[in-house]
Amino acid sequence: MSNDFSRVRTAEDYTAARAASIEDPEAFWAAQAERFTWRRRWDRVLEWEFETPSVKWFIGGRLNITENCLDRHVEAHGDRTALIWEPNDPKEQARRITYSELHERVCRYANVLKAKGIGKGDRVVVYMPMIPDLVVGVLACARIGAIHSVVFCGFSARSLADRINDAGAKAVLCSDGMFRGPKEMPVKSVVDEALEQCTTVEHVLVSRRVGWDVSMQPGRDTWLADELEHVDATCPAEEMDSEDPLFILYTSGSTGKPKGVVHTIGGYMVYTDYSFRNVFQYEEGQVFWCTADVGWITGHSYITYGPLLAGATQVMFEGVPTFPDPGRFWQVVDKHRVNVFYTAPTAIRSLMACGLDHVLSYDLHSLKVLGTVGEPINEEAWHWYKTHIGKDRCPVVDTWWQTETGGILISSLAGVTDEKPGHAAHPLPGVQPVLLNAEGGEITGNGEEGLLCMKFPWPSILRTTWGDHERCRQTYFSAFKGMYFTGDGAKRDLDGRYRIIGRVDDVINVSGHRFGTAEIESAINQAKGVVESAVVGYPHDIKGQGIYAYVITEAPVGDPEDMRGHIVEAVRQAIGPIAKPDKIQFVSGLPKTRSGKIMRRILRKVAEGELDKLGDTSTLLDPKVVDEIQEGRL
Ligand code: PRX
């Protein structure tokens, strides 16, 4: 009997699946695509080249992804719970939403959007906390063929405006406000402020969450609940092309301006479903919980799409890990009998720092599989997770991927392939990583380190960057001919497992979130009295990397704390509180080469405290600034 490898269950299966996927990738992925509802079957599986670049999967195929997330499950098991929504405050009742109910809510929301004149190809920005309307709104866009762009609710009005303008959004979906731990925070007023700088937005739909009396601009803003009263409970799904865009998600790179990563429907659908079921070894009936926010790619692929495509039951959590106390995650695991738990190393480290008492009062016996994502996990955190949360019986998958890859590319498959602390380990079937040296030569041996690239497309690879294809080519496909360059360095151990070392470009990974140094510098430079700045990452116990800023001011700084406050405020305004520098050192100059380039390597070494590894500083314009910088190190 032929094996389509749709579910890899043993190490032997994995070896065979990988071999099959490399030998005949088209046959391999066609077999996976067969699992879905297509209005029209594809003519060709794949066309690609990494020069322009141009990648197309399931060419000629017609479908709607929401029919695959919802309709087919409604037919088969409409009463199954799709979402268990756990609110911020444990005293508030959790809500269960079945596949049938979710289907109806998505259809109604889609009809509201349609009634507003929003349709295929229009861009809709979603700026909402982790409430069910976020997932419903996103799926409603997909239902009618509108392109969603979710912006994380922690971003500032200016960041939101930049994204709305870049996408040319016609509508914004938001809420009145949000709960976050003990705090209530504004959402609608941030949208209002952003929209002062935007001209394309015609409609704002507001979900009620905190019950505030927010200002509503007549003709533009409406309450979602009022609109829902007038619409039908059914909404035929728009027939889309496999290569039509599904969403834009903005992410930081090494330039000052975030770019809109574009994913298209068919390939993204096939890959998120495949990777979800295989990495987590999800079994029907299990409860899955990914703690990420839908504002990031993890919440797109492993909350909104992957689990729903697979017909899973999942927890969606509004709150934070430490509210009302650092036992909250584990309380929710016990309460909803979570079987598969997927979180970020930064959350593990911060809970680890709060002590074991918060863990030991919970049973955690429902857990079967644990996962991490977003940044390298240090061995101490890995062992703590494995021992105290997984009770040494749950496999831990360390999943490496990126906004641009759409789904998990390197990870062990839970309990199927081996795991090793700190190692993402194995490429998924269909994924072909290579390590290159700086000259672009392939490193074929094990036990070696290099630049991580992919030499063959997988179905959910980004297709372009919104409105600027050349930027996509430049960023990902120009460093090495014929390769997708990830921006990460990696090492293969002697047994061929991959260990991700971290970014090799000017991107800092703070608590699993990406920021470009240029983006933060341009925010700092907007603070009054700042002349110039340079930002680097440094090792941080909880966040993985912290942000260290070296700042030159116009005049000598009178009160350093006051000035630091201004700088932090400037970053809050430009990007959001998540990007605020942890350390700000005032300097009179920066180490520059004679051509004016800042030598970040030196700044990084000082921030890391590796003062004996500064290297040759004699080529600098003014080598003396290095002494001053070292002396003033924080
Ligand atoms: O450096 C890698 C790191 O996060 C980057 C991608 O960030 P983003 O697009 O925001 O997506 C994060 C969630 C998928 C990568 O280039 N990264 C992600 N996962 C891991 C990781 N580093 C080490 N180990 C991981 N498991």
Q: Which residue among 293, 401, 408, 507 is best mutated to probe the pocket of ligand 1, counting the most ligand atoms within 8 A of its Cβ?
A: 401
Residue 430 CB contacts under 8 Å (≥ 6 apart), including other chains? 21, 25, 28, 29, 274, 458, 459
* 608 CA → ligand 1 middle, Å: 21
Residue 94 C-beta-side C-alpha neighbours within 13 Å? 17
Give the closest residue (by CA) to ligand 1 atom 14: 402
Pairing of strands 287-290, 340-343: parallel
Instruction: Calculate how far, in angstroms, residue 364's C-alpha sits from the geometric centre of ligand 1.
Output: 27
Pocket of ligand 1 (CB under 6 A): 251, 297-298, 373-376, 398-403, 424, 486-488, 500, 502-503, 509, 514
Q: First CA to last CA across the chain, in angstroms?
A: 65
Distances (CA, A) of 434 to 81, 371, 410: 41, 24, 12
**Per-chain mean pLDDT for the chain:** 96
Phi, then psi, of 533 in degrees rounded to 5:
-150, 160
Q: Is 152 left (phi over 0), alpha (psi -120 to 50) or beta?
A: beta
Would you state the structure tokens that stand for residue 400, as one six-digit string? 């490496």
Per DSSP, the residues of 333-349 read: HHHHT-SEEEE-HHHHH
Q: How far is the CA of 374 from the centre of ligand 1 (A)?
A: 4
Q: How far is the CA of 404 from the centre of ligand 1 (A)?
A: 10
Nearest CA to ligand 1 atom 6: 402
Name which CATH class applies to 511-631: alpha beta
User: CA-to-CA distance for 515 and 256, rounded, in angstroms?
Assistant: 9
Residue nearest to atom 3 of ligand 1 (CA): 375
Helix (H, G, I), strand (E, B) or coil at 155: coil
Residue 450 neighbours by CB under 8 Å, 6+ apart: 435, 436, 437, 443, 489, 490, 491
Which residue's CA is the nearest one to ligand 1's atom 15? 402
Ligand 1 mean position to 89 CA, how many Å?
A: 30
Backbone phi, then psi, for 380, in 5-degree steps? -60, -45
C-alpha 145/C-alpha 140 separation (Å) is 9
| Amino acid code (one letter) for 214 | V
Beta-bridged to residue 185, according to DSSP, are 178
DSSP, collapsed to helix, strand or coil, labels residue 198 as coil
Q: Where are the domains of the chain?
A: 98-248, 511-631
How much is the pLDDT for 2?
A: 52
d(CA 559, CA 310): 57
CA atoms within 13 A on the CB side of 372: 32
CA-nearest of 320, 330, 308, 367 to 129 is: 320
The atom of ligand 1 lying closest to the CA of 399 is 26
Distance 452 CA to ligand 1 centre (A): 12
Exposure of 324 by Cβ count < 10 A (0-12 exposed, 13-18 middle, 19+ buried)? middle
CATH no., domain 98-248: 3.40.50.980
Q: Which residue has a Cα nearest atom 12 of ligand 1?
A: 374
Best probe residue, ligand 1, of 373, 396, 431 (max atoms within 8 Å of C-beta) = 373
Sequence-ordered list of residues with C-beta below 8 angstroms from that of 180, at least 6 positions apart, any chain: 88, 129, 319, 320
Distance CA 368, CA 616 (A): 52
The list of the chain residues with pLDDT below 50 reads 1
Q: What is the pLDDT of residue 595?
A: 84
Output the CA 479–ligand 1 centroid distance in Å: 19
- Is residue 401 within 8 Å of 271, Cβ to Cβ? no
> In this structure, which amino acid lies at residue 475?
T
Q: Are 200 and 232 in contact (CB under 8 A)?
A: no
CA of 497 from ligand 1 middle (Å) equals 17
pLDDT score of 1: 38
pLDDT confidence of residue 190 = 98
Q: How far is the CA of 402 from the centre of ligand 1 (A)?
A: 5
Q: How many CB atoms lie within 10 A of CB 202?
A: 15
